[in-house]
Amino acid sequence: MYLILLGPPGTGKGTQAKLIAERLGLLHIATGDLFREAVQQGSELGARVKAYMDRGELVPDELTIATLMERLLQPDAQAGVVFDGYPRTLQQARALDDALVSAGRVADAALHITAPDDEIVQRLSGRWLCPNCGQIYHEVHRPPKEDRRCDDCGGELAQRDDDKADVVRARLERQRPPEELLEHYRAQGRLVDIDGSQEVGAVTRDLLAAIEQMRSESAPKRA
Ligand code: AP5
């Protein structure tokens, strides 16, 4: 199964992608995570993407598509993937369609998570991440049991550089899914809107119900 999570920054794509991937036995691929790892490792890719990320801008399509395709070709991606934060442009969506079709596959659902802007700003300013295992926390909505320590691996939690208020505003202005991207999946009958303003468990429940509905609609009907 290949699932796509779309939505503005901070609507819960990463939180939900992790939960759904674990639940359905899929690989979680987040282009944001791939770029942050590259920056941390000081690689050539990291040097090329850092300035875009620091300004809250999208990384150019050519670089983003190449990064995603390299990851998608790894053996652990062959049993299914939850895409988190990819695609964000029509060109990225078309590249993914082509890659899946040439492997005899399709994207099963594009799940579009939304939440009001003031809720998003509040979520991002309170976000803490575990740099070791990627677990996501929030100081109010999902605090760790021990202050600034990851519940899962004990790692020291950190905040993202691009969660500063001015960069959050830039990301919100520039990184909403464009209408042409939503229309691309709507025309394929694969777009489902999900209310991301609910608590985490309710959003997961709605996502799983939408995935099940899509699967039953696309299953071959018996004569
Ligand atoms: P990326 O890492 O993808 O950032 P983003 O899209 O801005 O998304 P976020 O990770 O900020 O938010 P999220 O929706 O995952 O929310 P989360 O679950 O963490 O991208 C970073 C940068 O990389 C981009 O700016 C761009 O430069 C570049 N990039 C990446 N992909 C690209 C692409 N395809 N093309 C071009 N450039 C690309 O939740 C946020 C907080 O809210 C957390 O604290 C969480 O605990 C809390 N929370 C989550 N759900 C709930 C809930 N239901 N109720 C209460 N709190 C909640």
What is the C-alpha R_g of the chain?
A: 17
Give the 3-state DSSP-derived string for 101-166, with helices as H, strands as E and coil as C. HHCCCCCCEEEEEECCHHHHHHHHHCEEECCCCCCEEECCCECCCCCCECCCCCCECECCHHHCHH
Q: Is 23 a catalytic residue?
A: no
The DSSP element (H or E) to which 36 belongs, if any, is helix 31-41
Confidence of residue 136 (pLDDT cuts 50, 70, 90): very high
Domains of the chain, each with CATH number or no CATH: 2-26+79-115+176-218 (3.40.50.300)
pLDDT digits (tens, 9 = 90+) for 63-119: 999 999 999 999 999 999 999 999 999 999 999 999 999 999 999 999 999 999 999
Count of helix runs (H) and strand runs (E) in the chain: 9, 7
pLDDT at residue 18 in the model: 96
Residues with CB under 6 A from ligand 1: 7, 9-15, 30-32, 35, 52-53, 56-59, 64, 85-88, 92, 123-124, 126-127, 136-138, 141-142, 162, 171, 175, 196, 199-200, 203
Point out the ligand 1 atom lying closest to the alpha carbon of residue 92. Answer: 34
CA distance readout (Å), 198 to 11, 27, 54, 65, 141: 10, 25, 29, 32, 11
Q: Which of 45, 94, 136 to mutate to test the pocket of ligand 1 (most atoms within 8 A of CB)?
A: 136
Please indicate whether residue 13 is annotated as part of the active site.
yes
- Residue 212's contacts (CB-CB under 8 Å, 6 or more residues apart) are none
Cα 50 to Cα 126: distance, rounded to the nearest angstrom:
22
Does position 199 have pLDDT exceeding 90, yes or no?
yes
Q: Atom 5 in ligand 1: which residue has the minimum CA distance?
A: 9
Q: pLDDT tens digit string along 144-168?
A: 999 999 999 999 999 988 888 888 8
pLDDT in tens, 25-73: 999 999 999 999 999 999 999 999 999 999 999 999 999 999 999 999 9
Separation of CA 10 and ligand 1 centre (Å): 5
Residue 221 has pLDDT above 80, yes or no: no
Report the nearest atom of ligand 1 relative to the CA of 196: 53
